[in-house]
Amino acid sequence: QIVKALQIIEDILSSEELPLKHKKALFQVRKLLLELQDSMVLAKSRTRDIAYTLSELANLLGLEIKIGSPRFSLSSEEAVEILNKSIIADLEVEGEKTIVKKVVAQT
């Protein structure tokens, strides 16, 4: 939609009958739309990175991922045991409660 809006603005700006003050306003609108488009591309890229990271973490934890309804394929005890043996997390187990003290990112 943004690309279509930018094309319409470009068409209007090419008109020689358009007063200078209106052209200036349209150039500002064009600039704002381009900034919005850049922000959306950046947000999409970050979302993709986050989704990949979550997917990798879920696989390490034995989660079966389905868009909209993630669920454990392991019991919670098995997941805690895997995390406890893992080098990526430091856990403290207190009865039925498990506290994650730190998670180490591997790059």
* pTM reported for the whole predicted model: 0.51
**Once rounded to an integer, what is the mean pLDDT over residues 35-43?**
92
CA–CA distance, 101 with 38 (Å, rounded to integer) = 37
Q: Which residues pair with 10 in a beta bridge?
A: none
CA–CA distance, 16 with 58 (Å, rounded to integer) = 58
Specify the pLDDT at position 72.
52
Sequence spans of domains, the chain? 1-72, 74-107
Specify the pLDDT at position 75.
66
71 contacts 63 by C-beta, under 8 angstroms: yes
Q: What percent of the chain has pLDDT over 90?
A: 36
Distance of CA 13 to the CA centre of its chain: 35
